[in-house]
Amino acid sequence: MPLEDILERISQEAEARKRTILEKASEEAKLRLQKIEEEVNKESVRLLERRRREVEAEIQRKIAEAKLQSRHEIGKVKSEAIELLKQRLAGLFLDEIEKSYEEWCEKIILHYVQSGDEEVWMFPQEAERLGQKFLERVNKKMNYRLRFGGILDAPNERGFVLKNGGMSVNVAFSTILDDFLKRNEGFIVKTLFQGVSQ
């Protein structure tokens, strides 16, 4: 075999090996590229899903904050409305008492007296307007032994405090009104705020 044929054959074999190596390298590169693309896609999906969950969590947090803020505002409005109602009821209550002052005071005392032997302490206005003579009339009418205990030091308060054997019963007009509001709070709130949800 001549040298040229040998060289030609070596060249062809080298070319064939080169093609085989290049084809293998190209196949490996394609497989690696395909694998990388799959990993990139998986990572993209994972990152998008994670970001979606983060965004959903942030939206839920903002919705919860908005609801809480709304409840706070509704609660604030309700408290202000109830306080205004309380002030107006106190005014109406005192107006009603003033219409038949002594009769009202007698009813209040009789409602809270337990033994008929209590000391009756009066707030300044009641002491000035009623005094001991009022108690004498109640005692005579009901056959009680109520005693005038003195004047309480609360010029802005109205009503009485009944004392007997170390126990005191606060019969201040504001206390009576507060008790009424507490007993009827559910009804008052329901009536005032029908249709307003928290």
Q: How confident is the model at residue 127 (pLDDT cuts 50, 70, 90)?
A: very high
Whether 128 shows a pLDDT value over 90: the answer reads yes
Whether 196 shows a pLDDT value over 70: the answer reads no
CB contact at 8 A, 136 and 164: no
In 3D, which of 66, 80, 149, 142 has the Cα closest to residue 106?
Answer: 142
Average pLDDT over residues 67-77: 82
- Whole-number mean pLDDT of the chain? 86
Question: Most confidently modeled of 56-65, 71-80, 153-162?
Answer: 153-162
Whether 192 shows a pLDDT value over 80: the answer reads no
Q: Give the chain's domains with CATH numbers.
A: 100-192 (3.30.2320)
Q: DSSP 3-state assignment of 82?
A: helix
Average pLDDT over residues 20-31: 84
Residue 136 CA to residue 129 CA, distance in Å, equals 14
Strands 147-151 and 119-122: parallel
Whether 126 shows a pLDDT value over 90: the answer reads yes
The model's pTM is: 0.57
Residue 129 CA to residue 131 CA, distance in Å, equals 6
Show Cβ contacts of residue 73 under 8 Å, excluding neighbours closer than 6 positions: none
Q: How confident is the model at residue 137 (pLDDT cuts 50, 70, 90)?
A: very high
Whether 32 shows a pLDDT value over 90: the answer reads no
